[in-house]
A and B are shown apart, each in its own frame.
Chain A
């Protein structure tokens, strides 16, 4: 049994850390782009969604180049004695990049659905732009934001390709559940792969059921548009 725990533990820490980061970055990016009306809007939007349509190995390769010994971020971080490649933080970075589009897209859609009159009303009542966001936009968009968070969380849990390329397979440090399943199959340990698969399956299904439940509850409370 203790054999199964290290990947579960690594995944748990990665999922929680990465989802928290994605949550904040996704909301900030969504809020910024909803308000931004410059010429680069479509380009930025495409850039934010890009990781979702790229093969994970392509993202992994790009991250490896970026954070590698000769990459710009790699050289910068080396000044502080920090190495991203083959470290636990590598699993977090890969998971954040891959889950960010889901969070961003869902949050942006939720923000755009908030009736503009409500925000205008808050403005004429003297609320600063940040107060409008905290007291009107975010609460009204909250069901969508939560749905995006759950989707992002499921994506970080399932992240495999980019993680393997950037963080590798170091048991107890960078071996997440999906990576462990892959190497279990490779070495013929079907039982180990099966148990870990069941863990992921149970978790993902629970998340989806939770989203459905949450949406119904929010509708009753008058959120989620009209």
Chain B
């Protein structure tokens, strides 16, 4: 269990975060330069916070008021580096054995073979890091970090150097590993899908502070502000004002389009007249639905980009010539003809997928 309050100032940047982890896997999600890696370094003792308090399983690792600052050697925190940082002049087995040389020989051997086994790299124990693929290096790095039985495991963008299929497999393996691990895991990523898949809870970083930290469902369905919404993949925003309540729904007046949209309201009390921002993920905009429904608007295709299994459209809503309300939509490719550019269409914004963000 980790409790951390970290403050650290650099020229032009300030990290100021509070984290609390149980035995779980939490993902830190955020753009580069938002302080994700620095948070891990502060927890591991590789960087000293200016101010704060870090406690792991009841042991104080850092306390600026009591002037406690345990060196990384004494923190029992495992670290998997972005580039894995395996020792190039040692074999995989030597890398893993690095932290456990004080145990009896037979125990060391048993431990190495156990770790090689759970990471599926048993045949590679005598190889050097340069003889391993990126995926094998990552497995070796995790095995090495787990060797001294750390109370917590920190993973700094562990999947960023891997190709998509391998990444998918290693993500599943990490989830399986986490099931059997008795400590907390903190994983840094800038990949939304990865953060959602792996993190039971997600902390969204922005500019050195945590914009939102909650279960992944709540972070992705009810972002607390426009920044979090944008960072979690909401690309379409509409400014409006609540005009009518119809719990659990409400109607939002969108002046730019001169129309009302029905949306699912968050539990917190929003009253009539409240300024809000509506957001919708590109995946949820339906184009030319089979039947008429609420929240239909006319639009025109500005650009269509075809992907492997989906099409991305940039859409211009009718009557909005200022081009401020371009919508992006990402649809699974259907059998019917793709829409051509300039073609008029009807959009459906399903009320249950409209995100209401209080401004």
Q: State the A residues within 8 Å of B (CB).
A: 115, 117-118, 120-128, 135-136, 139-140, 221-223
Contacts and interface: CB of A to CB of B under 8 A. Distances in A.
Contacts of A117: 81, 83, 85
Q: What is the predominant secondary structure among interface residues of chain A facing chain B?
A: helix
26 contacts: A117-B83, A118-B85, A118-B87, A120-B44, A120-B81, A121-B79, A121-B81, A121-B85, A121-B87, A122-B87, A122-B98, A123-B72, A123-B73, A124-B45, A124-B46, A124-B75, A124-B77, A124-B78, A125-B147, A126-B73, A126-B148, A128-B73, A135-B98, A140-B88, A140-B89, A222-B88
Given A120-B46, A124-B44, A125-B144, A115 B85 contact: yes
Interface in B65-118: 71-73, 75, 77-79, 81, 83, 85-89, 98-99
B46 A123 contact: yes
Nearest to B154: A124
Interface in B111-165: 128-130, 144-145, 147-148
Given A118-B88, A123-B46, A123-B73, 8 more contacts: A120-B44, A121-B79, A122-B87, A123-B71, A124-B77, A124-B79, A125-B98, A136-B87
A136 B86 CA distance: 10
Contacts of A135: 87, 98
Contacts of A128: 73
Given A125-B99, A125-B144, A120 B88 contact: no
Contacts of B81: 117, 120-121
A136 B44 CA distance: 19
B71 A139 contact: no
Contact of A139 (B89, B98, B147): B89
B83 A124 contact: no
Contacts of A139: 89
Contact of A222 (B75, B98, B130): B130
Contacts of B99: 125-127
A123 B78 CA distance: 10
Contacts of B79: 120-121, 124
Contacts of A126: 73, 99, 148
B89 A223 contact: yes
Contacts of B85: 115, 117-118, 120-121
Contacts of A120: 44, 46, 72, 79, 81, 85
Contacts of A123: 45-46, 71-73
Nearest to B131: A222
Interface string B36-76: 00000000111000000000000000000000000111010
B12 to A, nearest CB: 20
A222 B129 CA distance: 10
Contacts of B148: 125-126
A122 B72 CA distance: 9
Contact of B88 (A122, A124, A125, A223): A223
Contacts of B129: 222
A128 B74 CA distance: 10
Contacts of B72: 120, 123-124
A117 B99 CA distance: 16
A139 B98 CA distance: 15
A135 B95 CA distance: 11
B40 to A, nearest CB: 10
B89 A127 contact: no
A80 to B, nearest CB: 41
A139 B128 CA distance: 15
A117 B81 CA distance: 7
Nearest to B75: A124
B89 A221 contact: yes
Identify the 6 closest CB pairs spanning chains A and B, nearest first: A125-B99, A117-B85, A123-B72, A121-B85, A124-B79, A222-B88
Nearest to A120: B46
A217 B141 CA distance: 27
Nearest to B89: A139
Contacts of A140: 88-89
A135 B94 CA distance: 11
Contacts of A222: 88-89, 128-130
B61 to A, nearest CB: 12
A61 to B, nearest CB: 45
Contacts of A127: 73, 98-99
Contacts of B144: 121, 125
